[in-house]
């Protein structure tokens, strides 16, 4: 099965490295994004990213094997990698998927393959097929003509880790679920262009739920560690020592607690399951509530540390105290601020009345490659230089664990 041109719809955290890897293997890849700045930075070869190897790879392929445009063009296959956030009341928002599908509908032709990679609620791929059928009644789709459809549609979730994206795009296994067997075979053939891991074929709904189940599993395990840290704090027990000792059991592997859960997947994906099966997803819902509550718990712990410091230093007022928060992204080695619990913590501390500084080696107040909306919430407290000259009274290590200590 031959693909002469492949188009990536959405050049964000997932779409851009995928487009770059594809372009390096086959050439003639077209990336589409509605953000003019993104398109221009790729075209000009000046993409700013901390992802190891990505800038170098883009420099090799941009303008030749990879072109960036703002409107979809005709291609043999389309991969959609756009955001699927949740609303304030934890409902899935698949409007970006709909917009992406409808944007490429005018350029579809017989023989095309469309792959949805965006993490999605169960049933989204079928819904997308219906939108496309309504937009292009002159073409047939899997729900109408099965294996004989003019346009085939499949789902394949991404499962790559920031910091190892280029490595995992190639070496990770992939799960492919087509609306037909033909769609599955076509999608598997496409991924074999660059994937060296195994490709597992299943039903489209199983593929959709698999990514959600993976991240919900991780969320539940993190929630256990976070809840355990709060229990240990109440009982005056060192949680790190407890976990270290418990993990000597041959069948126990408790994770390390943190200040919450961040990123674009784990804090979001479990809610897709809860929305689809609210009565059944009781444990998954509870885990989400535990992890969502952890930043507020950390804030209260910092407030207690401030109160204790003031009691020990009665000559000082709260506005005389400087609290330093180390780490603002959702994990080490990334500029990604999406759903970062540290952002929530810093915002809350900003109303306490103390002096506040935020220190992160990868992020500055004018970072052009961080999540701009989240950066705006905290940038007035970010300090990039002169840190050694700032007298710090209370240190809060937000990145790894809830390590809060006062300077004596």
Catalytic residue positions, numbered: 211, 265
Q: Do the Cβ atoms of 179 and 126 come closer than 8 Å?
A: yes
Residues 6 or more apart whose Cβ sits within 8 Å of residue 33:
10, 11, 12, 15, 39, 68, 70
The string of DSSP letters for 94-150 reads: -HHHHHHHHHHGGG--TT-EEEE-S---TTHHHHHHHHHHHH-TTS--HHHHGGG-S
Q: Which residues pair with 30 in a beta bridge?
A: 7, 67
Q: Would you give the distance in Å from CA 337 to the centre of its chain?
A: 10
User: What is the gyration radius of the CA atoms in the chain, in angstroms?
Assistant: 24
Environment class of 17 (CB within 10 Å of its CB; exposed 0-12, middle 13-18, buried 19+)? buried
**Rounded CA gap, 43 and 66, in Å?**
9
| Contact (Cβ atoms closer than 8 angstroms) between residue 296 and residue 348 | yes
User: How far, CA to CA in Å, does 78 sit from each of 101, 132, 210?
Assistant: 10, 13, 22
Task: For residue 101, give both structure tokens.
Answer: 């599908």
Tokens representing 342 are 């540290």
Interstrand relation of 152-155 and 174-178 (parallel, antiparallel or unpaired): antiparallel
Q: Helices marked H in 236-327 — which ranges?
A: 239-246, 269-276, 282-312
**Beta strand ranges found along 3-121 (DSSP E):** 6-9, 29-32, 66-69, 77-80, 113-116
Tokens of 259: 């200040």
| CA atoms of 215 and 209, how far apart (whole Å) | 10
Q: Which two tokens stand for residue 369?
A: 């490659």
Q: Which tokens is 33 given? A: 């994004």
DSSP element (H, E) containing 69: strand 66-69
Residue whose tokens read 């080490």: 332
| Residue tagged 């270290």 (tokens) | 244
């Amino acid at each position: 099965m031959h693909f002469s041109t492949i188009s990536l719809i959405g050049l964000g955290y997932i779409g851009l490295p995928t487009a770059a890897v594809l372009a390096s293997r086959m050439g003639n890849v077209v990336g589409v994004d509605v953000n003019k700045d993104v398109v221009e930075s790729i075209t000009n070869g000046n993409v700013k990213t901390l992802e190891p190897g990505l800038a170098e790879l883009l420099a090799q392929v941009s303008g030749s094997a990879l072109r960036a445009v703002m409107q979809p063009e005709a291609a043999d296959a389309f991969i959609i990698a756009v955001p699927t956030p949740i609303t304030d009341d934890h409902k899935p928002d698949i409007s970006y998927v709909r917009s992406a599908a409808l944007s490429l509908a005018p350029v579809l032709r017989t023989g095309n393959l469309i792959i949805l990679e965006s993490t999605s609620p169960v049933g989204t791929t079928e819904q997308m097929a219906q939108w496309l059928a309504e937009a292009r009644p002159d073409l047939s789709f899997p729900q109408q003509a099965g294996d004989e459809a003019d346009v085939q549609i499949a789902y394949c979730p991404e499962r790559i880790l920031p910091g190892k994206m280029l490595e995992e795009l190639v070496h990770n296994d992939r799960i492919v679920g087509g609306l037909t067997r033909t769609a599955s075979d076509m999608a598997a053939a496409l991924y074999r262009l660059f994937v060296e891991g195994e490709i597992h074929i299943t039903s489209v709904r199983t593929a959709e739920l698999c990514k959600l189940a993976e991240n919900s599993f991780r969320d539940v395990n993190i929630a256990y560690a976070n809840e355990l840290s709060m229990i240990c704090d109440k009982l005056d027990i060192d949680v790190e020592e407890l976990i270290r000792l418990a993990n000597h059991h041959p069948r126990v592997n408790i994770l390390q607690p943190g200040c919450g859960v961040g990123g674009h997947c784990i804090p979001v994906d479990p809610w897709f399951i809860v929305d689809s099966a609210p009565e059944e997803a009781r444990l998954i819902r509870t885990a989400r509530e535990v992890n969502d509550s952890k930043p507020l718990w950390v804030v209260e712990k910092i407030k207690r540390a401030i109160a204790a410091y003031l009691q020990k230093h009665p000559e000082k007022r709260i506005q005389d105290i400087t609290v330093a928060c180390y780490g603002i992204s959702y994990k080490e080695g990334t500029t990604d601020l999406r759903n970062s619990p540290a952002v929530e913590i810093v915002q809350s501390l900003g109303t306490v009345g103390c002096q506040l500084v935020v220190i992160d080696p990868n992020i500055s107040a004018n970072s052009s490659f961080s999540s701009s909306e989240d950066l705006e919430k905290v940038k007035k407290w970010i300090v990039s230089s002169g840190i050694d000259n700032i007298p710090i009274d209370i240190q809060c290590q937000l990145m790894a664990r809830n390590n809060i200590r006062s300077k004596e």
